[in-house]
Structure formats: C-alpha cells, structure tokens
Amino acid sequence: MLQRAALQWYIDNGVDEALGDAPIDRFAASEAAAKAMAKAKPNASVAMQDFAGQNPLERSAEAASIPQETPLLGASQAQEEAVKTANAAQSLAELQEAIAAFEGIEIKKTATKMVFADGNPEAKIMLIGDVPNADDDRHGKPFLGANGQMLDRILAAIGLSRSNEDTAKAVYLTNILNWRPPGNRTPTASEIAISLPFIERHIALIKPDLIILCGAIAAKAILGKTEGISRLRKSKHSYTTQTAELEAKLKNIPAIATYHPSYLLTTPLQKKAVWADMLTIQSFIDSSGQS
C-alpha cells in the first residue's frame, strides 16, 4: 500500500518527524486527491464513491488500501539484496565491485567515492572503523588525514603498519560503511543493517586471526552489543558471524574494541586507555606466535 510503504521508507531512513513553515491539512489533501482520481479514472468511480463524505479515519484507511504500482525499496528489502550480493562475491575484487554497484543504500548518492579498504589483505590483523570521513571520501581509502596519521602512530608503537609486507606485522583496514554519510553524521540503524552483510563477507574473505574494532559504531555492529565503547574496550570479545543468511560463516575470532582516532584528537586524555588496548593487542600477537 502506497502510504504505508512510503511511511516505512521514511522510518527506515531515520525520518521520524515532519517539519514545515505552516501546518498542512492532510485530510483535505487526501479528499482533493480522491476527487481528482475519480475524475481522471471513471472506472475507479465505484471504488471511490462517497470517499469525500467519510470521516477522516475511514478515509485514511481506505486511501492506504489503494495498491501501488511501483513498490518502494525499504531497509528489509535492501538488506535481503545485500545478503544475496555479498554471498555471490567470491573474492575481494568481486566484493568491491558488488558494493560499488549496489543501489540499496541512499548515502551512496551523496558520497564522492566508495571507500573499500587499505593495507595488506594477507594481514593477520583486520582493523574495522566506523565510517569514512571527508579525507577518505575524497581519496577512496580508509583512515586518511589527521585520523589516519594518528592511527598509523598508534599502530607503529607496537610494530604494526598498514604498508608492511610482513603479514605478521601488517594491518588490513576498512570500515563498517563504505560510503561517507552526508555531513559526517552518525549512520542510521538501517544503514548499518544494510551494510552488515558486506562487512561480514569482507571479514570472511580476509579470515583474520584478530579483529580490532575502532570506534563505538564498529564495535556495537560487529559484536552485536549495545554497551558503549568505554565499557566494550575493557573486555575481550569473540566475533562470530551475525548475518544468518551468509553462506560463509566464521566463529570465535578474538576481537578487541578501542577508541576511534577521531575521538583521541578531541579527547587526548584517552590516549592512555588506547595505549593499554595496544598492549593487550601486543600480548595477543606475542602469545599467538605472530611476531
């Protein structure tokens, strides 16, 4: 039904409030539309007779029952399509092409470039951030600009690098979302849900020994948690594929959550906490014999 599908589309995309300079009489608009439809389509006159004389609640219910010719793509449909597309990707190159061609997420229209990944794809450590920033969006790679410089220094402190050819000392970088939300806003729940099959397929193709979750959005989405990053970073976690429909699933991959570099740029006092997280990562590397 047209009105119901339209409302669902707005809800899926985070629109929960209508704003305007002046109030609009929606019932009067519905009445005018009904009269116009009846006049334009004589065959519909029987179905539309006495429409204008009904009370507003009955009129709204009947209008909602009119079938639509072109269904709107909601978040649930987009997520189903994302799962099918992700399952079909058998390599990183195919996944990158699939994400670039996927039309089920609106923020693609406002982004400049798709941000897929950076670093060594053979790395044993995969670092997943929140969303691309303006620098990432311009160049098509994650963690550039001031955020990237901060992250590179943090990783270098424990002997890791995105450019290292040694897989034991390399890091592979990506984000939960491959497109920058307009104005660097926080992604909506539906945008994260639509993107989750892609990032989980990405993880399955890399098969890392350790996942570093950089930021609250990444940590909550990948771990399926609701706690804040301050609490999540204090515990060790285990990642298991959440999207049940994905054909390739992983289980019990060690995961560590930490603050995002952008947070450290505005809250430098938390660098001490991130250093503690890096020591935990270093301890994992040493105990697993990667170094």
What mean pLDDT, rounded, does the chain reach?
83
Rounded percentage of the chain residues whose pLDDT exceeds 70: 74
Read off the pLDDT of residues 141-156 as tens digits, 9 standing for 90 and up.
999 999 999 999 999 9
Interior CA angle at 24 toward 19 and 27, to 5°? 130
Q: Domain ranges in the chain?
A: 2-64, 94-288
Read off the pLDDT of residues 57-110 as tens digits, 9 standing for 90 and up.
443 333 333 333 334 457 889 999 999 999 999 999 999 999 999 999 999 999
Q: How far apart are CA 114 and CA 11, in angstroms?
A: 25
Domain spanning 94-288: CATH superfamily: Uracil-DNA glycosylase-like domain (3.40.470.10)
Question: Is the pLDDT at 122 greater than 50, yes or no?
Answer: yes
- What letter represents residue 162's amino acid? R
Q: Is the whole model's pTM more than 0.95, yes or no?
A: no
Token pair 């945008």 is at which residue?
191
- CA distances, 203 to each of 36, 111, 206, 287 (Å): 54, 23, 5, 22
